A and B are shown apart, each in its own frame.
Chain A
Amino acid sequence: MTELTLAKAINLGLRRSLEGDDRVVLIGEDIGKLGGVFRVTDGLQADFGARRVIDAPLAESAIIGTAVGLAFRGFRPVCEIQFDGFIYPGFDQIVAQVAKLHYRTAGAVRMPITIRVPFGGGIGAVEHHSESPEAYFTHTSGLRVVSCSNPQDAYAMVRQAIACDDPVLFFEPKRRYWATGDVDEDADAPALGSARIVQPGGDVTLVAYGPLVTTAHDAALAALDDGVSVEVIDLRSLSPVDFDCVEASVRKTGRLVVAHEAQHFGGLGAELASAITERCFFHLEAPPVRVTGFDTPYPAAKLERHFLPDLDRILDAVDRVMGRENSLSRAGASA
């Protein structure tokens, strides 16, 4: 057991994967001597060489397309996209090639590619450095999409993603890179596609992933002071979603709140709300509520505290599903 930051935990996971399988190669911008702009790959090129930790010329489509060719040859490439908002030049290679090649070739060609993406806001960054593009990828068949929220998961999940024979989009909560936690390399890791109950509760099911898990947990502790017992679920896997876990919780609580930084319309929250409504409508005591970023582009840094769901907005949503006084009831609108 070692205490590590989330960034260092991913670094350790990458190191163990490089040690354990000589077909694992890393490719991305500035991941060599610099160790990546967030230092997630710090020291890896020095220890594994420039053939396995490859500094890529500045072209995201080529980072992904080159990884496709490497995978054709039996490698397990791990791509780093430097920031969430930089992934779009590589979008075509991801959705048209990485996601489809196994299906296209009737299983002959595997694409065990991990695409690491620091995502989300809250660090006061300039445009294109704070986005949450996960729904573009959860909407794409053939991809797996996961997000970690703590160092232990970060370590275990990056290793699982690399070992997975399917392509995995690995979303790293960049504002939690410096959060610390214990990492046990020998702990049994839950399946990559499974959700985790962070805190049990009986009144409301609160689902979050990535950077908002900590916020959701804090909100649940605050709600308890108010007499509301909130069960917090860290979704971990965004595709597939562990609906069984969420459904079991909602059957118990009767209320669902989903929180994510990504925009509202067509986001993961919409999918969770509809799927849970289909699965256990008659167990619901209130309509599911989503707490999300607004349907705006990511705003300037001085506005991001309004855009990002925080503890109070989550508590307001908890009040809505509990039928308590909330922002909408005060405004006279129907909750």
Chain B
Amino acid sequence: MLRSLDQLDVPTPVTAPGTLLQLLPPDGERVPHPDLDPWIADIDGAALAALYDDLSVIRRLDVEATALQRQGELGLWPPLLGQEAAQVGSARALRGDDFVFTSYRENGVAYCRGVSVAQLLPVWRGTALSGWNPYDVGMATPAVIIGAQTLHATGYALGCEIDGVDSVAVAYFGDGATSQGDVSEAMVYAASFHAPVVFFCQNNHWAISEPVALQTTRPIAARAPAFGIPSMRVDGNDVLAVMAATRIALDRARRGGGPTFIEAVTYRMGPHTTSDDPGRYVDPVERAEWAAKDPIDRLERHLDALGLLTDELRRSVRTSSDAAAAELRRACLALPEPAALTVFDNVYAEPHAGLDRQRREYSAYLDMFDGSAS
């Protein structure tokens, strides 16, 4: 599996020591970057409008889901407010045959992968442990154990390599996860096996209440090169820079260049989950600074500067956002209660004498109460 990278025609990850890769600063004034620009040369006005629609719909869904939790319709919700560009910019760079392994905040990634809004909710309403079939959308059920999925992505990528296909596995995880042993182990394995995997770290500055400075005293992206994995540190609120960096990493993996690490620097503008109280630990001044770097605001400014932020675009984005939110609410309330005996389903793929006996016994118990064992 070892080969000389010098002999491969693979793109070189772009680094910018001490600063962030950026194409769209908060003022929306597009800045050129000779190494990144070619990777988004195809992003024309229509593509920008589509990204604007994605970002807006995802934010609207996120706000609606938070409202559903506040109204008692969801048990929990992990808002992604502020991280829309990091998720959309990366996920929209993927191909259908790529496979992503995420944590639980990647609802924007799920949306881009084709997960329906109805499928976003069963986990949070407690009607199922997975909202979708991973093979339908090329996205695993989000992992709740922090960092565990980075190994799954690495194994999947190793499988792509063995199969001789140019599909890529992408691991999404947060800054907190980088302290987990699994993430370091994943980087060791990915480097050793030269696996076509992209490690996409959303540094949103918080692991519940713990600031990123507690996880690392160096930029997270600086860690990967010591594993033999080149890394890029990108403005995570800049949808264009995120997309360019992700495309570089994906192309590199497809051409046999092995793993790449991307740190998308963003900010979790909401709580960890709806159960959290960031008022106890977030500095309001810091949060206000990040509010000024909002990913959607800057894309609006950019569209405006290009003369593309028309009333028609605003109206269409508002319509699609409201429709998505209404569908989310409708789908939430329509989720069926799982039947009692389905608690026993799919523990095993093949018959299991012990569990089959428990099912029979519980079924007999339920039969004492009319019609409950449906």
A93 at the interface (CB under 8 A from B): yes
A69 x B347 contact (CB < 8 A): no
Interface centre among B1, B134, B155 (most CB of A within 10 A): B155
A61 to B182 CA separation, bound complex (whole angstroms):
7
Looking across the interface, which residue of chain B has its beta carbon closest to that of A22? B162
B12 at the interface (CB under 8 A from A): no
B130 x A108 contact (CB < 8 A): yes
B355 x A240 contact (CB < 8 A): yes
Contact of B345 among A61, A68, A107, A244 (CB under 8 A): A107
A242 x B353 contact (CB < 8 A): yes
Provide the B329-357 mask, 1 if CB < 8 A to any CB of A, else 0: 00000000000000001111110111100
A73 at the interface (CB under 8 A from B): yes
B354 x A69 contact (CB < 8 A): no
B350 x A166 contact (CB < 8 A): yes
Contact of B151 among A68, A109, A164 (CB under 8 A): A68
Contact of A240 among B152, B156, B186, B352 (CB under 8 A): B352
Given the interface pairs A50-B1, A96-B148, A240-B353, the reply to whether A66 lies near B158 with Cβ below 8 Å is yes
A129 at the interface (CB under 8 A from B): no
Total contacts A to B, CB within 8 angstroms? 153
Contact of A66 among B99, B129, B151 (CB under 8 A): B151
Within 8 A of A (CB), among B131-184: 133-135, 140-141, 143, 145, 148, 150-160, 162-163, 169, 181-182
Main secondary structure of the interface of B (DSSP, over half): helix
A69 x B154 contact (CB < 8 A): yes
A106 at the interface (CB under 8 A from B): yes
A166 x B348 contact (CB < 8 A): yes
B181 x A61 contact (CB < 8 A): yes
A112 to B350 CA separation, bound complex (whole angstroms):
11
A109 to B345 CA separation, bound complex (whole angstroms):
14
Contacts of A142 in B (CB 8 A): 347-348
B188 at the interface (CB under 8 A from A): yes
Contacts of B158 in A (CB 8 A): 66, 69-70
Within 8 A of B (CB), among A151-170: 164-166
Within 8 A of B (CB), among A297-318: none
Contacts of B160 in A (CB 8 A): 73
Given the interface pairs A59-B188, A62-B186, A72-B134, the reply to whether A166 lies near B349 with Cβ below 8 Å is yes
- CB of B374 to closest CB in A, whole Å: 18
A51 to B141 CA separation, bound complex (whole angstroms):
27
B129 x A104 contact (CB < 8 A): yes
B128 at the interface (CB under 8 A from A): yes
B192 x A57 contact (CB < 8 A): yes
A102 x B181 contact (CB < 8 A): no
Interface centre among B128, B135, B189, B348 (most CB of A within 10 A): B348
Contacts of B200 in A (CB 8 A): none
A277 at the interface (CB under 8 A from B): no
Total interface residues in chain A, CB < 8 Å: 53
A93 to B154 CA separation, bound complex (whole angstroms):
14
Contact of B347 among A57, A89, A141 (CB under 8 A): A141
A65 x B156 contact (CB < 8 A): no
Interface centre among A61, A73, A105, A240 (most CB of B within 10 A): A73
Looking across the interface, which residue of chain B has its beta carbon closest to that of A110? B349
A293 to B345 CA separation, bound complex (whole angstroms):
36
Provide the B184-197 mask, 1 if CB < 8 A to any CB of A, else 0: 01101100110000
B101 at the interface (CB under 8 A from A): yes
Contacts of A166 in B (CB 8 A): 348-350, 352
A164 to B181 CA separation, bound complex (whole angstroms):
30
A97 x B354 contact (CB < 8 A): no
Contacts of B157 in A (CB 8 A): 69
B188 x A62 contact (CB < 8 A): yes
Within 8 A of A (CB), among B1-22: 1
Contacts of A18 in B (CB 8 A): none
A103 at the interface (CB under 8 A from B): yes
B148 x A65 contact (CB < 8 A): yes
Within 8 A of B (CB), among A190-247: 193, 239-244
A73 x B141 contact (CB < 8 A): no
B350 x A59 contact (CB < 8 A): no
A44 at the interface (CB under 8 A from B): no
Looking across the interface, which residue of chain B has its beta carbon closest to that of A55? B192
A75 at the interface (CB under 8 A from B): yes
Contacts of A54 in B (CB 8 A): 193
A284 to B159 CA separation, bound complex (whole angstroms):
53
Looking across the interface, which residue of chain A has its beta carbon closest to that of B167? A73
A193 to B351 CA separation, bound complex (whole angstroms):
10
Given the interface pairs A68-B152, A69-B159, A240-B353, the reply to whether A102 lies near B188 with Cβ below 8 Å is no
Looking across the interface, which residue of chain B has its beta carbon closest to that of A62? B185
Contacts of A67 in B (CB 8 A): 155
B130 x A73 contact (CB < 8 A): no
A116 at the interface (CB under 8 A from B): no
A165 x B353 contact (CB < 8 A): no
Contact of B133 among A105, A141, A240 (CB under 8 A): A105
A8 to B294 CA separation, bound complex (whole angstroms):
63
A3 at the interface (CB under 8 A from B): no
Contacts of A65 in B (CB 8 A): 148, 150-152, 154-155, 182, 185-186
B348 x A144 contact (CB < 8 A): yes
- CB of B194 to closest CB in A, whole Å: 12
Given the interface pairs A62-B188, A72-B152, A142-B347, the reply to whether A96 lies near B145 with Cβ below 8 Å is yes
Contacts of A97 in B (CB 8 A): 143, 145, 148, 152
Contacts of A72 in B (CB 8 A): 99, 134, 140, 152, 155-156, 159
A69 x B155 contact (CB < 8 A): yes
Contacts of A141 in B (CB 8 A): 347, 355
Known: A74-B159, A109-B140, A166-B352. 20 other contacts (CB 8 A): A25-B162, A65-B155, A69-B157, A70-B155, A70-B156, A73-B99, A92-B182, A103-B129, A104-B129, A106-B129, A107-B345, A108-B133, A109-B134, A109-B135, A110-B349, A142-B348, A164-B350, A165-B349, A239-B354, A240-B355
Leading 3 A-B pairs by shortest Cβ distance: A69-B155, A65-B151, A73-B159
Q: List 15 A-B contacts (CB under 8 A).
A: A51-B162, A62-B186, A66-B158, A69-B159, A72-B99, A73-B155, A73-B156, A105-B129, A105-B130, A105-B346, A106-B128, A106-B346, A108-B134, A109-B140, A240-B354
